[in-house]
Amino acid sequence: MFHNLEYRVPYADTDQMGVVYYANYLEYFERSRTEMLRECGLPYRLLEEEGVIMPVSEAHCYYHAPAHYDDLLTLRSQVAQIKGVRITIESEVRCAGKLLVSGSVVLACVNREHRPVRVPEKIIESCEKYKKESLTV
């Protein structure tokens, strides 16, 4: 199941022609997954206080169509895989139902000493609501 978040494109996200800069889509992915994790009770600040850091280790972005200034976008994210020290989150950006960008990020789970650690059970359980139907743990 996808977590959905609406976002209206500000002028600052666009070029002079009013088209969203390609790199901003990765920022939209981040905004979407951050809000998804927050809704699961896992804001990054809390995770860091508990000694869990989840930096992005991979990012994939597939461009399908442009977004423009003042478009109302739907940013969508879901947990696609949790395996060992990695969490894969798939994301989409849509406008009026039309797919504009799709992709995924892989988050590595590390401790305060920046050593890889298995994804804590608390995170696995908390993400249950937004897991992909075929989630692999």
Catalytic site residues? 15
Q: What is the DSSP string of the chain?
A: --EEEEEEPPGGGB-TTSBBPTTHHHHHHHHHHHHHHHHTT--HHHHHHTT-B--EEEEEEEE-S--BTT-EEEEEEEEEEEETTEEEEEEEEEETTEEEEEEEEEEEPB-TTS-B-PPPHHHHHHTGGGEEEEEE-
